[in-house]
Amino acid sequence: MKIGVLALQGAFIEHCDVLKKLDAEPVEIRQHGHFSSHLDGLIIPGGESTVMGKLLRELKLLEPIKDAVFNGMPVFGTCAGLILLSKQIEGGGTGPIPVLDVLVRRNAYGRQLGSYRTTAKFKGIGEVPMVFIRAPYVLEAYGGAEVLAMVDKKIVAVRQGAVLATAFHPELTDCIGIHELFIYGRT
């Protein structure tokens, strides 16, 4: 199984390491020629969502990725990846790949100093460690979006069809269950 990992910013190496533990082959996507609709899935890691959107456009990656996702390619977005996949962003606008029926708040936990770790229940997995770094959260999930995890009454993980998104960074923990859910549909 080959899973693309957008390697423009963020903890993409850590996502690749988790994929290897799950016997999946990571394919780092850095430029247009690296992306193929023949991949079995795509991970969009954290980073700065505005910069990532700009880079996707400049590198001519946005349209092929958007087409693949809209045609059913499984995608997993963490932190900024959640924002990039959102149909609504608080204050107006959408993510550049608007497939998730969610309204998201950027930098909801404040500046870098507002970053923290916690554990919470994740539907179908149980208690998981969560690392939040200048994280967003979902203000509202509607339509086909299913809430998978909440922290302090805030939605921090959702799934809609083949799309999975978290406000936190599971790749920065020893938990592989969320990646396993994404790749194999099970834990």
Q: Which residues participate in catalysis according to the annotation? A: 79, 169, 171
Rounded to an integer, what distance in angstroms lies between the CA atom of residue 9 and that of residue 59?
Answer: 13
- Both structure tokens of 76: 């997993």
Q: What is d(CA 127, CA 132) in angstroms, rounded to the nearest whole number?
A: 16
The whole-angstrom separation of Cα 139 and Cα 90 is 8
Report which secondary-structure segment, H or E, holds 27. Answer: strand 25-29
142: which residues sit within 8 A by CB, 6+ positions away?
101, 102, 103
Separation between Cα atoms, residue 128 and residue 122, nearest integer Å: 7
> Tokens representing 39?
């991949």
Q: Show Cβ contacts of residue 17 under 8 Å, excluding neighbours closer than 6 positions.
A: 171
Half-sphere exposure of 101 (CA within 13 A, CB side): 11
